Structure 1
Amino acid sequence: MSDTPSGLEKPALSPLSAVGAGRKDRIDRLAALGAPDPDDSAAGSERGVSLIAEAWRRLRVSPVFWVGAVIIVAFVLLAIVAPWIAPHDPGEQLLIGQTSRARNQIAPSQPGFPLGGDTLGRDLFSRLILGSRQTLLVGVFATLIGLTGGLILGILAGAFGGVVDTVVMRIVDVMLSIPSLLLAISISVLFANPNLTTVIIAVSVVQIPVFARLLRGQMLAQRESDHVLAARSLGVRRPAIVFRHMLPNSLSPVIVQATLVVAVSIIDAAALSFLGLGSQDVSTPEWGQMLGEAQDRIDSHPGLAFWPAGCIIVVSLGFTLLGETLREAIDPKNRR
């Protein structure tokens, strides 16, 4: 009989189990040796960080990022509180008695009307404030609709490939071959009664191929990555691979592009309104519409065009600065 009590006997390990246990012990030893000492500040500073943490580390010291962020936050807050801070009704002709088309006169700046009136005697300052809300709605909703359509086409092309990829990308190529503003104008003239909704539709359709091509390229790169190949070898189904592995790792550039597209959407929407293809309701101001109304008096009263044009430029610049800094921050090539 063995001297060891039967309750303490260790079961004999098979050769494969012994090899597995040996590998596990070796991995545990390597992990213990490679773990940084909590008291070693140098080792702690060299620990890896996530992409988001690394991007934020660069963004918070970038003055360009903060300029864009301040512009966007101020614009969004202004659009939200616009109905409560506008001093007058934007559609009421309070200064009609001081406006004469025959003498080419516009109501000047005066108490209660810091920017004077427009061509119809309405308060220009109130119309600028309320116009920010319409501009924000167009920029955000056009970008969201374009992003949604681009995601659908990009996922189809990047996940399936083959005939589906060919058909989708040929449609995208045709849309990209037409200048964006010309395509938006072509879509707008199809509607009998243009309004804010038709502007959003026209601008969003123009942005769909941009998102589709970008997402498709990112997903094609993910298809050959190690984690996707490992998932396939384990028998994971295609929908799970696409939506749990490929799509989440492909969205960062698309989200950054969406920030840049907001600026393009604002400019395109202003161009459509300037050409008379936007909202026809003069009581609901929009910056592009205000530009169109000021064009016949641009020589004598440039301020009527300067203020809405300046607002469009500043807001578009804010989204552009934010988007460019985000793109540089999440680019793996810029990581040190």
Structure 2
Amino acid sequence: MTPLNRKKERLDGLAASTAAPAAGQAGGVDVMDPVDPVGEAGAVRDAEGVSLLASAWRRLRRNPMFIIGAVLVALFILVAVFAPLLAPHAPDDRPLIGQISASTNPIPKAQDGFPLGGDEKGRDLLSRLIYGSRQTLIVGVLATLGGLAGGVTLGTLAGAFGGWVDSVVMRVVDVLLSLPSILLAITIASLASQPSQWTVIVAIAIVQVPVFARLLRGSMLAQRSSDHVLAARSLGVKRSAIVFRHMLPNSLGPVFVQSTLALSVSIIEAAALSFLGLGNPDDSKAEWGQMLGAAQNLFDLYPHIAFWPAACIVVVSLGFTLMGESMREALDPKSRR
């Protein structure tokens, strides 16, 4: 058989193979090969739509980092809420005062009923750690809420009005962001005539304001050019209604995720201010940063009295950080799989 004949037979075979499905479909029968990759690729199965939050929750449930962070945060909140029930003693009780000797035993050791021992004033270290979680939670939550409120206000003004309002607000935000957060917090806290827990809350809240303001302003600028905002403007909807009904609700998602990360930063900065003596001077109310400051003089011989409050700060901050990073990845369309 000549090469020309072989080519002709090959073309006839290809024509016959493509004509067979067409003939089957013309007769009302689908004879498409069930293993045909083109047929499988062309078949589209019906599926219900999934909202952004539902899709994010599905990814979070499979994320081990989020689960670990959520467990740590849940334990921290439970300990803080039920501190009076969990702590064996009140934070200012001194059940070990009789065992303290300035020359031989300045710090009571671990013993029955006191698994972590005591501090330099004969107080139960475990009880003070448990009550310290409550003070840390109060400071962290109130400081974050204060920073969130201020940041949402400034970010809404800058993102909604634009123009000279945006320029003025952003220049103030840039000045605050140009300073290291911990130095800015120390400066603000040191301005108070008498240090207290509220000076720490106010100082950390002011430090958090520019972070939330810049994040919300960027989200609202993206919403200004979206289709639904342009449609509302074309229909003659008032600016206030567009801002508070369309732009602001759709821009708060990243801000709420950032608030979880801000809680971690607030806890660390609150502990730093208390460690430096800029927090509540009354040590009858236990606070982890304050406990670290009191332990620095005895750290060489008794490192455990500084290790336990430092470990609590690290673990709680890690829990909020893992939760915040996981939530940000789950809500980010670029990181979806």
- Residue type of the alignment partner of 1:74: L
| Structure 2 equivalent of residue 237 of structure 1 | 238
Structure 2 portions without partners, runs of 5+: 1-42
| Structure 2 equivalent of residue 86 of structure 1 | 87
- Residue type of the alignment partner of 1:264: V
CA distance in 2 between partners of 1:43 and 1:77 (Å): 46
Q: CA deviation at 1:104?
A: 5.8
Matched residue SS, 1:247: helix
Q: CA deviation at 1:146?
A: 0.3
| Structure 1 equivalent of residue 22 of structure 2 | none
| Structure 2 equivalent of residue 315 of structure 1 | 316
Q: CA deviation at 1:84?
A: 1.8
How many residues are treated as equivalent by the alignment?
295
| Structure 2 equivalent of residue 55 of structure 1 | 56
Q: Name which one, 1 or 2, has greater alpha-carbon Rg.
A: 2
| Structure 2 equivalent of residue 269 of structure 1 | 270
1:139-173 superposed Cα distances (whole Å, 9 cap, x missing partner): 11100010000000000000000010000000000
- Residue type of the alignment partner of 2:45: A
1:158 aligns with 2:159: yes
Counterparts in 2 of 1:167-182, with a 5 A limit?
A: 167-182=168-183
| Structure 2 equivalent of residue 69 of structure 1 | 70
Structure 1 portions without partners, runs of 5+: 1-40
Q: CA deviation at 1:198?
A: 1.1
Matched residue SS, 1:43: coil
| Structure 1 equivalent of residue 45 of structure 2 | 43
- Residue type of the alignment partner of 1:48: G
Matched residue SS, 2:300: coil
Q: CA deviation at 1:193?
A: 1.5
- Residue type of the alignment partner of 2:74: V
- Residue type of the alignment partner of 1:162: G
Deviates more, 1:188-197 or 1:132-141: 188-197
| Structure 2 equivalent of residue 31 of structure 1 | none
CA distance in 2 between partners of 1:92 and 1:85 (Å): 15
| Structure 1 equivalent of residue 27 of structure 2 | none
| Structure 2 equivalent of residue 213 of structure 1 | 214
1:81-104 superposed Cα distances (whole Å, 9 cap, x missing partner): 001221112112221222233446
TM-score normalised to structure 1 length: 0.86
Deviates more, 1:326-335 or 1:260-269: 326-335
Q: CA deviation at 1:42?
A: 6.8
Q: CA deviation at 1:112?
A: 1.3
| Structure 2 equivalent of residue 122 of structure 1 | 123
Q: CA deviation at 1:218?
A: 0.5
CA distance in 2 between partners of 1:228 and 1:101 (Å): 71
Deviates more, 1:55-64 or 1:99-108: 99-108
1:27-85 superposed Cα distances (whole Å, 9 cap, x missing partner): xxxxxxxxxxxxxx97344x331100110110001111100000001100100000122
Q: CA deviation at 1:175?
A: 0.5
| Structure 2 equivalent of residue 287 of structure 1 | 288
* Change in CA separation of 1:113 and 1:72 when aligned onto 2, cut-off 3 Å: same
- Residue type of the alignment partner of 1:262: L
CA distance in 2 between partners of 1:292 and 1:44 (Å): 62
CA distance in 1 between partners of 2:100 and 2:91 (Å): 16
| Structure 2 equivalent of residue 258 of structure 1 | 259
CA distance in 2 between partners of 1:220 and 1:297 (Å): 53
Q: CA deviation at 1:268?
A: 0.1
CA distance in 1 between partners of 2:181 and 2:153 (Å): 20
1:97-142 superposed Cα distances (whole Å, 9 cap, x missing partner): 2223344631011111111100111110000000000000011110
CA distance in 2 between partners of 1:217 and 1:208 (Å): 14
Q: CA deviation at 1:223?
A: 0.5
Moved over 4 A (4+): none
**Is the 8 Å Cα contact of residues 83 and 130 (structure 2) preserved in structure 1?**
yes
**Is the 8 Å Cα contact of residues 99 and 105 (structure 2) preserved in structure 1?**
no
1:109 aligns with 2:110: yes
1:180-218 superposed Cα distances (whole Å, 9 cap, x missing partner): 000000011111221111111111110000000000001
CA distance in 2 between partners of 1:302 and 1:159 (Å): 53
| Structure 1 equivalent of residue 200 of structure 2 | 199
Q: RMSD across aligned C-alpha pairs, in angstroms?
A: 1.3
| Structure 1 equivalent of residue 187 of structure 2 | 186
CA distance in 1 between partners of 2:105 and 2:290 (Å): 20
Question: Percent of pairs identical after alignment?
Answer: 66
Deviates more, 1:162-171 or 1:105-114: 105-114
Deviates more, 1:101-110 or 1:239-248: 101-110
- Residue type of the alignment partner of 1:303: H
CA distance in 1 between partners of 2:175 and 2:293 (Å): 31
Matched residue SS, 2:94: coil
- Residue type of the alignment partner of 1:321: L
Q: CA deviation at 1:335?
A: 3.0
- Residue type of the alignment partner of 1:43: R
